Amino acid sequence: CVALAIAAALFDRKVAWWSVGGFFAAAVVNVATLWPFIAIAPNQIALDENEGADCFTALSLNVYMDNRDYARTAQLIDREDPDILLLLEPDQAWADALEPQLARYETRVDEPLDNTYGLIFATRLPVDRAAISSEAGVLTPTLYASMRGKRGTPFDFVGLHPRPPGPNQDTEERDNAILRTDDATSKLSKDVVLMGDFNDVPWSHTMTALRERGEFQDPRVGRGTMPTFPADWAWLGWPLDHILVRNGVAVRDFTVLENVGADHLPLRAQLCLVSEEER
């Protein structure tokens, strides 16, 4: 934009040079906003290498309800075999197709829906309490689970999928759903994992407020944008799927996986619960 403005000013004196300054200022603001999510920026989270930590894997995927290529998602779950599995947009057909994979998990919360806001949560970790709350809106169910790691370390897990903006739907409902989740996590334990398809980019005002108010950390910071949508053009797309952690939750690995036929790419993380003494 700045180069175009300068060229216009050089070849057309009717173009005011102050417009060049305006374009330059806009470019500076955009770079400053995106800077944390550029690969050369400092990392917010150093990948954990503590071999004695209480670690587990988590996998999140918006399956895209109208996608009927069940086999590729089933193969992904078989291969990754995550300790925590969060599936978004499943309808009953999806739940039925993935039953062989889901049946391996000790704890499940299934809410398949035909309105693109279904949710399935499955885990082999110990669970003290798990339920879906719709207080953020009927069409934006949120999963809250009080859990323990493999060694008994307590933590809370939150899975969400707020409504995306659309022609007749501005960003207000999505933003409110995200920020209400932040308010809810303030009542949970100090150690929290927040995961799902947020339908928002990490540099937005809402996501920035979520991280700052909730003291969440983002493994993307300093590692690039790592887009997840649209799956077929992710290199040109947006990072809409997230894993955020707080306090004693460390990140050992954070990876965007391959396209399995949905409109979003899967997100996988290896997370570790670090004791007060180890921090």
CATH of the domain at 229: 3.60.10.10
Three-state DSSP state, 269: strand
- Average of per-residue pLDDT across 178-207: 90
- Average of per-residue pLDDT across 126-155: 86
- Residue 195, domain extent: 54-278
Q: Assess if residue 48 is contained within a domain.
A: no
Pair 27, 83 in one domain: no
Q: Assess if residue 196 is contained within a domain.
A: yes
Pair 7, 111 in one domain: no
Average pLDDT, rounded, for the chain: 86
For 18, what's the count of Cα atoms within 13 Å in the CB-facing half-sphere? 0
Pair 103, 160 in one domain: yes
> Per-residue pLDDT tens for 30-75?
556 676 778 787 888 887 776 667 999 999 999 999 999 999 999 9
Pair 21, 87 in one domain: no
Q: How many domains does the chain have?
A: 2
Residue among 63, 60, 180 at smallest CA distance from 116:
63
* pLDDT above 60 for 24: no
Q: Assess if residue 182 is contained within a domain.
A: yes
Q: Assess if residue 42 is contained within a domain.
A: no
Pair 28, 64 in one domain: no
